[in-house]
Amino acid sequence: MSLRDYEDFVYRAMMIDKPDPVAAWRELSEVQQRYCDYLEAHDEIRIEALDTELTLSVKGRKWINSDGHFNMPDGEVFTGPVETSANGYIRYTYPTVWLGRGAEDVRLWFEDGVVVRWEAREGKELLDELFAMDDGARRIGEFAIGTNYAIPTFTKKILFDEKIGGTCHLAVGMGFPKTGSQNKSALHWDMICDLRTGARLSADGEVFHEGGVWKI
Helical residues (DSSP H) of 41-138, grouped into ranges: 124-131
Nearest to 74 by CA among 160, 140, 203: 160
Distance CA 63, CA 72 (A): 19
What pLDDT, on a 0 to 100 scale, did the predictor assign at position 36?
Answer: 98
pTM: 0.95
What pLDDT, on a 0 to 100 scale, did the predictor assign at position 193?
Answer: 96
Asked if 76 and 163 count as a contact pair (C-beta separation under 8 A), the reply is: yes
What pLDDT, on a 0 to 100 scale, did the predictor assign at position 100?
Answer: 87
What pLDDT, on a 0 to 100 scale, did the predictor assign at position 33?
Answer: 98
The residues of the chain scoring below 50 in pLDDT are none
Nearest to 188 by CA among 123, 144, 125: 144
Distance CA 160, CA 157 (A): 6
Domain ranges of the chain: 3-214
**pLDDT tens digit sequence for 54-109:** 999 999 999 999 999 988 999 999 999 999 999 999 999 999 988 889 999 999 99
